[in-house]
Amino acid sequence: MDALEYLGYSVGNYGPSKRGGVSLQFRNLVDGSERYSVFNAETRRDRNTQHGKKGAPYLEDSSG
């Protein structure tokens, strides 16, 4: 099993159906290659709250 370093995450719409998801990015500490995992996730709010309006994204990207 290789050692991986966490690099960050991004939020987007993935696949042909453009479903919401979160992608985690990693670097292999042995050979320097980059890896990622994508998880299905609801990325938009279902209703209005004090933190955001319906349809607004829950998360912002960590890259920057």
Instruction: Specify the amino acid at residue 16.
Output: P
Residue 62 in this model has a pLDDT that exceeds 80: no
Tens-digit pLDDT profile for residues 5-58 = 999 999 888 888 888 899 999 999 999 999 999 999 988 888 998 888 998 887
What pLDDT, on the 0 to 100 scale, is given for residue 14?
84
What pLDDT, on the 0 to 100 scale, is given for residue 59?
66
**Max CA distance (Å), the chain:** 46
Q: Are the C-beta atoms of 59 and 32 separated by less than 8 Å?
A: no
What pLDDT, on the 0 to 100 scale, is given for residue 35?
97
What pLDDT, on the 0 to 100 scale, is given for residue 4?
97
